[in-house]
Amino acid sequence: MRSMSKSKEMQEFAENVVDAAEVQGRSLWTDARARFKKNRAAMISVYVLLAVALFAIFGGYFAQWSNEEIDWSILGNVPTKGMPSIENGHYFGVDDLGRDLYARVVQGSGISLMVGLIGAIVAVVFGTFYGAVSGYAGGRVDGIMMRIVDILYSVPFFFILVLLLVVFGRSILMIFVGIGLVSWLGVARVVRGQTLSLKNREFVQAARATGVPSHIIIFRHIVPNLFGVIIVYGSLLVPDMILAESFISFLGLGVQEPQTSWGALISEGTKTMQYGTLWQLLIPLFFFTVVMFSLFYIGDGLRDALDPKDR
Amino acid sequence: MLNLILRRFAIAIPTLLTLTIITYLLMHSAPGGPFTSERPLPPQVLANIEAKYGIDQPLYKQMWNYIVGVVTQFDFGPSFKYKDQTVNEIIARGLPVTLTYGVLSFLAAVLVGIPLGIFAAIRQNTAVDYFANAFAIVAQVLPNFVLGPLLILFFTLWLGWLPGGGWNGGYWPHLIMPVIALSTSYMASVTRIMRSSMLEVLRSNYIRTARAKGIPEHIVIIRHALRPAMLPVISYLGPVFVGMITGSFIVDSVFSTGGLGYYFVNAAFNRDYAVMLGVTLLLGALTIFFNLLVDLLYGVIDPQIRY
């Protein structure tokens, strides 16, 4: 009897041991995902941001007017008849020229979000490439590459961006390129620092000892280990990009009609607010502010989730 | 110390040169010069104008003449758009305005941000702290081009307290809104940096020792904690300064204050390359000079740094 129970215990134990062996190791990413999900502000922000993105992509299908159509019946008296209304199909009212503000905001949201995303991707990809190469190469190459970054860093880039737009024409592509070019420097510095500390680790030495060429070491062994840092940094870049684009467009140097963005819409709203057409300012402002808030909390959440310091 | 200054200048000079060359080349490669207009000028006239402004010479020579002019006589050449004005005159008109509200905003950001950050750290998790945190987050998503119009909406259109724009020789009611618009987001950042750095310093061992010796709390903070806690704020002063300069473009645009930003943006619309180049170089030089000052200040405060 006794031996039976004992063997049963043993059996259970043995099973547990087998189970324990099968328990998956918790990777950095599972950990990070769990931590991020616990951060309520960040999770809400993700949903808000998704909602705005869906609005930018599919909102156009619900518009009663196109973004270029002028509603002649309202044009003369925008302040009295142009306010937001369901009846005449202008959900957000009309802008100064009698165009449907709903359609304009959909269009502007798309462009602003895209600038944020693509600008950040350009900056991250180029900065990672530059930083990883510089850090891995080390020595004199590293010195020269980083001196170049230092010099470019102290150039006031706002001016260069305006110049690029003036010289090559104000196209969206130029804004993407210009803003992306401006902001890879920070990424390059961070990535280089991390690469320096990674390149003497055992797995890199092992790769080098087995004759793996440098470019494969950089992109297969070093860069994947930097993803955490890169994602955090990139997520903080997105609001910066949107801000920069809005800044430039607010000055009238950014996107050109008939295209628009949050900055351009806010600028238009500012010019007409004294006539009482406040919705033209407040609606784009609302979208801009809500997205900036969300991106701020998401960036914060990602940093908390991925930053190894707090572990 | 001298070594650092020299080394900084060794970087500053190539930086300014790079800036000049990039700017110059960019402008030169622009389609359509400053003198292209709806009605094409007769070739003879165009040639005369180009000779007058020196743009018929080879590129390197133009650039050389320009740099020599700037370095030896501080002469940025004539404006391409306004025939009777030099860039120097335009700068002389715009710079005092920009500097006035720029310096005031800088002081506001630092002199409000630092004390607020310190109080938030000392009284962690009290009303002051929550206020400072909320302020930091709200100010971060309200950049100057959003804040400026909102201020006008409240204080000019609704309350009618302040003039909605103009400069009026720097009479103080005209300064209030530009300074608030320009300084708020940097004030918030300074507060946040000051708070977190103060919190970190207050947890360190030597602060515990000082308290254990029975030194009154306010002296612990002023004499022991303040200096190391200031360091991150000081290294942030460079970005604050740059923010004041670029932000001045928005201030000029929203409040019609007529500073350098107004002339720069106008020049960008008119393809007035001389003005753009002059303003870029001047503000670039100011930025570099200011960063040097910040580095020196850093060295004075942090004894661990030896040059």
Please provide the DSSP assignment of B41-92 as one string: PPHHHHHHHHHHHTTTS-HHHHHHHHHHHHHHH----B-SSSTT-BHHHHHH
B46 touches chain A (CB under 8 A): no
CB-CB under 8 Å, A155 with B19: yes
Nearest to B268 among A160, A166, A269 (CB): A166
Q: Which of A250, A274, A292 sits opposite B157 (nearest CB)?
A: A274
Distance from C-alpha of B67 to C-alpha of B175, rounded to nearest angstrom: 36
- Please tell me whether residue B162 adopts helix, strand or coil conformation: coil
Q: Do B287 and A154 touch (CB under 8 A)?
A: yes
CB pairs under 8 A between A and B: 108
pLDDT above 80: residue B81:
no
Judge whether A246 and A268 are in contact, CB under 8 Å: no
Q: Is A206 on the interface with B (CB under 8 A)?
A: no
Find, in chain B, the residue whose alpha carbon is nearest to that of A287: B141
> Any CB–CB contact under 8 A between B214 and chain A?
no
* pLDDT range class, residue B115, cuts 50, 70, 90: very high
Task: Say what the pLDDT of residue A74 is.
Answer: 67
What is the nearest CA distance from A303 to chain B, expressed in angstroms? 16
Check B11 against A154: CB less than 8 A apart. Answer: yes
pLDDT for A90: 74
Taking CB atoms and an 8 Å limit, are B141 and A296 in contact across chains?
yes
* Contact residues, chain A, for B145 at CB < 8 Å: 246-247, 250, 263, 266-267
ipTM (interface pTM) = 0.76
Sequence letter at residue B63: M
**Which residues of chain B have a CB within 8 Å of the CB of A167?**
26-27, 29-30
CB contact (8 A) between residue A273 and residue B12: no
> Per-residue pLDDT for B78 more than 60?
yes
State CA A88 to chain mean position distance.
36
Using the predicted structure, report yes or no on whether residue B42 has a pLDDT greater than 70.
yes
Question: Which residues in A lie closer than 8 A to residue B11 (C-beta atoms)?
Answer: 147, 150-151, 154
Choose among B36, B261, B234, B165: nearest CA to A273.
B165
* B287: chain A residues, CB-CB within 8 Å: 154, 156
pLDDT, greater one: A78 or B76 = B76
A184/chain B closest Cα distance in angstroms: 17
Q: What is the dihedral of CA A68, A72, A76, A82, to 10 degrees?
A: -70
pTM: 0.80
Interatomic CA distance for residues A256 and B79, integer angstroms: 26
Mean pLDDT of B149-170: 77
Q: Which of B265, B276, B287 sits opposite A251 (nearest CB)?
A: B265
- Tell me the pLDDT band of B55, cut-offs 50, 70 and 90: low
Mean pLDDT, chain B, whole residue set: 81
Which of the two residues, B281 and B198, has the higher pLDDT score? B198
**What pLDDT, on the 0 to 100 scale, is given for residue B25?**
79
Q: Which of A160, A288, A296 sits opposite B22 (nearest CB)?
A: A160
Please list every residue in chain B whose beta carbon sits closer than 8 Å to the beta carbon of residue A281.
Answer: 149, 153
pLDDT value at residue A310: 44
Q: A25, A63, A36, A48: which is closest to A228 by C-alpha? A: A36
Per-residue confidence in pLDDT tens, chain A, 311 aa: 445 556 677 666 666 655 555 556 667 778 788 888 888 888 888 999 999 888 888 877 777 777 777 777 766 666 666 667 766 767 777 777 777 778 888 888 988 898 888 888 888 998 999 999 998 888 888 888 888 887 777 777 777 788 778 777 777 777 777 777 778 888 898 888 888 888 888 888 898 899 888 888 888 888 888 888 888 888 888 888 888 888 888 888 878 777 888 888 888 888 887 777 788 888 888 889 899 889 888 888 888 787 655 43
Residue showing tokens 């720029």: B102
Residue B103, chain A, CB below 8 Å: the answer is no
Per-residue exposure over A33-48, b if at least 16 CB sit within 10 Å of its own CB, e if not = eebbeebeebeebbeb
- CA-nearest residue to A284 within chain B is B146
Cis peptide before B163 (omega within 30 of 0): no
| Residue contact A156–B152, C-beta within 8 A | no
Instruction: Give contacts of B15 with chain A, Cβ < 8 Å.
Output: 151, 154-155
pLDDT surpasses 80 at B43? no
In A, which residues are within 8 Å of B137 by CB distance?
293, 296
Inter-chain touch B283–A159, beta carbons under 8 Å: yes
CB contact under 8 A, B18 and A151: yes
Which of A52, A159, A171, A182 is the best substitution to test chain B (most B C-beta atoms within 10 A)?
A159
Measured between beta carbons, which residues in chain A are less than 8 angstroms from residue B9? none
pLDDT value, residue B259 = 83
Q: Radius of gyration over alpha carbons of chain A, in Å?
A: 26
Per-residue confidence (pLDDT) for residue B107, from 0 to 100: 92
Place B114 in a pLDDT band, splitting at 50, 70 and 90: very high
**DSSP 3-state of A64:** coil
Say if residues A63 and A100 touch (Cβ distance below 8 Å): yes
The whole-angstrom separation of Cα B306 and Cα B221 is 25
Q: For B258-289, how does the pLDDT look when each residue is reduced to its tens digit (9 = 90+)?
A: 888 888 888 888 777 778 888 888 888 888 78
CA distance A214 to chain B (A): 31
Q: What percent of chain B has pLDDT over 90?
A: 5
